[in-house]
Structure 1
């Protein structure tokens, strides 16, 4: 029996030490996200082989900024709890162990309640109307992303509208177009990345081709990039990237000047537009991200498994100390 309890103490210490490291990693990720969301998204794109353009559209949005600060808070909380857990195991303080075990049980209860609440919100299609509610939702979301894998399938209906609006704003302020409007040496990096995405996934605009009808939605394109060969201004309806192509090898090989040889219709961008893609890129992005969701699912599953083992060892240690205390009390009472 003593060997079993000693082994549980060892496991509990090892798991607490592991959670100390995890807390530091989460904290560092939060600092990085809050300080420079664009670079961390580029890093994620590099290691996950996700199209960098997909993640670039999320950069510097309010959602990502809030997520960074919440990751900092959660990382700090995990670190503190795990550090206290190590101290409890080493010191073998029974009162501290009772308090710590009780608190960890409350954490588990909180997770269960939040999962139930989010599932209930999803079933009733309640949409957050205020920024305060959005912040609360983000807190619950990231907490559960760290501890509960089921939340991955419960949150998109809440944050997608805000992210889509932020993406539209970024696109409007930065996109000017490339092929047919400028010389290759003058291509803007953001516009080239956006055109790459639209061509590869056969989509047009964040919300669809209608984005290019209004100067409010595509401001910079209307001011600087509304050109195609000899046409300009109201004569141009769409950027070349929205057109249908027979193949996209010219873009993959960076032979941008040869784009017309691959177009289904070289008059596509001119009013009235013909042979263009009508799918909104915002509808393509979740599908693309969904292809790379396995790491996002495995990480919280592994985390949750460790958490269950951790709580099991904590309770075992708690009941061992409790039974030992009761035995000593009965022994000396007799």
Structure 2
């Protein structure tokens, strides 16, 4: 057993840190699973691919990728929390050494991932916009009960963000599955019950009966493009994830410091 008030403080602080690691890890796994299971239309819109053959959206999108990372990272934190708690309580120097080394490797990986995200940010945003336009042209059919997930996602986004089209309402002129080229989708109109539609009702009743036949800046959202709002929504979610990552990184740094201090104390007392 380590002796001295300072050494015991380090030991119990390290224990508390690792209890936090364990709880954060469990929460991350839970949130990640929830995101993967949740049928959120934004998950469909966040998928980016340069392959024109992709129609079924079976690749992971931004939200799904983040969920997978959360699950993997959460599992690692659970293991790290267990190692740190055991190493601190039992004062096992080799376990503390392994714990500190793994934490350092994880911290380096997180820094590298952060740099990669910063470098790829502009490319991702460009690819996202092009992908949304391309998939709208290829998959949008205007059927609110469509079997095409992307088509329903576009309608949902237009009602949720109160917008029309990715760049503008003229995007629908090039939609091969959209036959009524003389109008805009009903979801571009101001609806009588917006919340009802967003909660899963597959009907869109415009407040003004002249819309979508004669959409204006008053009875519809044709003057507002969807892309800036979709991008802003994804950026906000990313900021939340980045904030969590910074908080975890700070805990990791303190964990490394306290583990090294405790190892040094154990080594000095055994020496």
Question: Normalising by the residue count of structure 2, what TM-score does the alignment of the two structures yield?
Answer: 0.68
The aligned residue for residue 143 of structure 1 is none
Q: Does 1:214 align with 2:174?
A: yes
Deviation of residue 2 (structure 1)?
1.2
**What SS does the aligned partner of 2:98 have?**
helix
RCO greater where, 1 or 2, for CA within 8 Å and sep 6 or more?
Answer: 2
Which of 211, 214, 218 is 1:267 aligned to?
214
Deviates more, 1:7-16 or 1:72-81: 72-81
Q: Counterparts in 2 of 1:151-300, with a 5 A limit?
A: 156-161=121-126, 163-164=128-129, 165=131, 169=135, 173=139, 175-176=141-142, 194-195=154-155, 197-198=157-158, 201=161, 203-216=163-176, 219=177, 221-222=178-179, 226=180, 236-242=182-188, 248=190, 250-252=192-194, 256=205, 258-260=207-209, 267-268=214-215, 277=222, 279-290=224-235, 295-296=240-241, 298-300=243-245
Q: Distance in 2 between matches of 1:117 and 1:289?
A: 17
Q: Distance in 2 between matches of 1:7 and 1:22?
A: 22
Deviation of residue 201 (structure 1)?
4.5
Deviation of residue 12 (structure 1)?
0.9
Deviation of residue 78 (structure 1)?
1.8
Deviation of residue 95 (structure 1)?
2.6
Question: Normalising by the residue count of structure 1, what TM-score does the alignment of the two structures yield?
Answer: 0.57
The aligned residue for residue 89 of structure 2 is 90
Select the structure that is richer in helix.
Answer: 1
Deviation of residue 24 (structure 1)?
2.3
Q: Distance in 1 between matches of 2:232 and 2:207?
A: 30
Deviates more, 1:292-301 or 1:107-116: 292-301
The aligned residue for residue 57 of structure 1 is 45
**What SS does the aligned partner of 1:204 have?**
coil
* Structure 2 runs not aligned, ≥5 long: 48-56, 197-203
RMSD: 4.0
Deviation of residue 281 (structure 1)?
1.2
Q: Deviations over 1:76-107 (max 9, x none)?
A: 22222221112211221223323332332333
Aligned residues: 245
Q: Distance in 1 between matches of 2:161 and 2:115?
A: 36
In structure 2, do the counterparts of structure 1 residues 20 and 201 end up closer, same or farther at CA, with 3 Å as the change threshold?
closer
Deviates more, 1:193-202 or 1:18-27: 193-202
The aligned residue for residue 255 of structure 2 is 310
